[in-house]
Chains A and B, each alone.
Chain A
Amino acid sequence: MSEQQTPDAGRRDFLGATAAATAAGLGFVALAPGMQLIKFAEANASTNAATGQFASSKVRWGMLIDTTRCATGCTDCVTACATENAIQPGSGRPGQSSQWIRKIELKEQKTGREISLPMMCQHCAEPPCVDVCPTGASFKRADGIVLVDRHSCIGCRYCMMACPYKARSFVHEPLTQQNPEVPRGKGCVESCTLCVHRVDKGEQPACVEACSKGEHTAMLFGDLNNPDSEIAKRIATTATSQVRADLRLDPGVRFQGI
């Protein structure tokens, strides 16, 4: 052992001496470009934050769904999502069609109480789909929106298996009718994007807009981190819950009345 350690120690000494020499001789020069780079990055961040162009980590987008207001049989949110994101049923195999949002009807056996709710990507703070992705295609944006980078998605579908909410779908057939703002294509996994292209423009997700246009107004979208936002106030004053909170994924979508 000691024989093996000796050359290592020698190398460390050599490296240490070199580093010290560099620091003494070239330290300033070596440091200056690094500082410049950091300065550049900071300058860019501040200008972009001023124009509101970049996703900010100060924001955490989330949704509150009031199941007591969500009507059984109403599929306005599903239709709006399909229109906005150009989701069409595939040819022949309805079981394979993409499902970014779906309606679920639940019944409590003992009491007979029935509730209806929309289920979609829960935009977890600790998303398991991101953990399992072998290519880094599945990722979480700074503002908490979980997305798939189709440029690096290889369609392995690990994320579909990892997701406890069955939120992701795989595109089996070639597509032609995409919304230019929502690129989608065969061979990639996809899920609710929280209408990120709309959110970045300061608009609300299509499902929330459709729900509030109807008489139900069961969906509320906003910044969970901003204490002045309506969603944060509602969450602070009423009892809400996360689905499968025991998994400790901290979903950004919260439910009321389940």
Chain B
Amino acid sequence: MPRRLLQLLLLLLAAVALPVHAGEGHVPKPVLTIEHPGQCIAPPEVMRRTHMDMLKHQRDKTLRLGERGAKISLNGCIECHASRKTGSVLGSNENFCQSCHAYVAVKLDCFECHQPKTGMLKSAATAGGQP
């Protein structure tokens, strides 16, 4: 009877451990293609850890205090990091913002309201002769 119990326990353990082990390789690593290589506003390790705080503080300054042309800007992120193919930071796991956020499973709420594509500026559209 104790041997049976041990077997059952081992089986249970295996059942719990296996899917986790098998799942390790399933989340694709983020694909970070810097489409417009150049100097970001801060070193990559700083950006990785604090970009959300930067954006959160700056959004209040911009909206509530009316600060324009600040160094930190979501539109600035999009200008540099949008994919050359789709012109967007969203769309697939190869697009800059989405690839990392999918990997770390953090919901990306910015683009419920903000425009994820480049070239959508109204002034740019009128200058380009579009209707």
Tell me if A201 is interfacial: C-beta within 8 Å of chain B.
yes
> Quick one: which of B67, B112, B122 contacts A54, CB cutoff 8 A?
B67
Number of interface residues, chain A, beta carbon within 8 A: 32
CB neighbours (8 Å) of B66 from chain A are 53-55, 141-143, 196, 200
Asked if B122 and A83 sit within 8 Å, CB to CB, the answer is yes
Asked if B59 and A181 sit within 8 Å, CB to CB, the answer is no
Near A by CB (< 8 A), chain B positions 57-90 give: 59-60, 63-70, 75, 78
Tell me if B20 is interfacial: C-beta within 8 Å of chain A.
no
Near B by CB (< 8 A), chain A positions 136-165 give: 139, 141-143, 147, 149-151
Complex-state Cα separation, A53 to B59, whole angstroms: 14
Tell me if A188 is interfacial: C-beta within 8 Å of chain B.
yes
Asked if B113 and A184 sit within 8 Å, CB to CB, the answer is yes
Closest to B112 in A: A185
> Quick one: which of B64, B70, B114 contacts A180, CB cutoff 8 A?
B114
Tell me if B93 is interfacial: C-beta within 8 Å of chain A.
no
> Quick one: which of B115, B121, B122 contacts A183, CB cutoff 8 A?
B115
CB neighbours (8 Å) of B70 from chain A are 53
CB neighbours (8 Å) of A54 from chain B are 65-67
Give the interface size bracket for B toward A: 10 to 19
Tell me if B120 is interfacial: C-beta within 8 Å of chain A.
yes
Of A141, A183, A188, which is in contact with the most chain B CB atoms at under 10 Å from its CB? A183
Asked if A179 and B67 sit within 8 Å, CB to CB, the answer is no
Complex-state Cα separation, A55 to B60, whole angstroms: 13
CB neighbours (8 Å) of B121 from chain A are 179-181
CB neighbours (8 Å) of A141 from chain B are 64-66
CB neighbours (8 Å) of A197 from chain B are 68
Tell me how many residue pairs across A and B have CB atoms closer than 8 Å. 63
> Quick one: which of A53, A184, A186, A196 contacts B69, CB cutoff 8 A?
A53
Complex-state Cα separation, A175 to B112, whole angstroms: 8
Asked if A177 and B120 sit within 8 Å, CB to CB, the answer is yes
Tell me if A115 is interfacial: C-beta within 8 Å of chain B.
no
CB neighbours (8 Å) of A187 from chain B are 112
A197-221 interface bits toward B, Cβ cutoff 8 Å, 1 = contact, 0 = none: 1001100000000000000000000
Tell me if A86 is interfacial: C-beta within 8 Å of chain B.
yes
Tell me if A226 is interfacial: C-beta within 8 Å of chain B.
no
Closest to B75 in A: A180
Asked if A53 and B68 sit within 8 Å, CB to CB, the answer is yes
Closest to A185 in B: B113
Complex-state Cα separation, A175 to B114, whole angstroms: 9
Given contacts A141-B64, A147-B63, 11 further A-B contacts (CB under 8 A): A53-B68, A53-B70, A83-B122, A142-B65, A149-B64, A151-B59, A151-B60, A174-B112, A178-B120, A180-B120, A183-B115
List residues of chain B with CB under 8 Å of any chain A CB.
59-60, 63-70, 75, 78, 112-115, 120-122
List residues of chain A with CB under 8 Å of any chain B CB.
48, 53-55, 83-84, 86, 139, 141-143, 147, 149-151, 174-175, 177-181, 183-188, 196-197, 200-201
The contact sample of 30 A-B pairs, CB cut-off 8 A, is: A48-B67, A53-B67, A53-B68, A53-B70, A54-B65, A54-B66, A55-B65, A55-B66, A86-B122, A141-B65, A142-B65, A149-B60, A149-B64, A174-B112, A175-B113, A178-B114, A179-B121, A180-B78, A180-B115, A181-B75, A181-B122, A183-B114, A185-B112, A185-B113, A186-B112, A187-B112, A188-B113, A196-B66, A197-B68, A200-B68
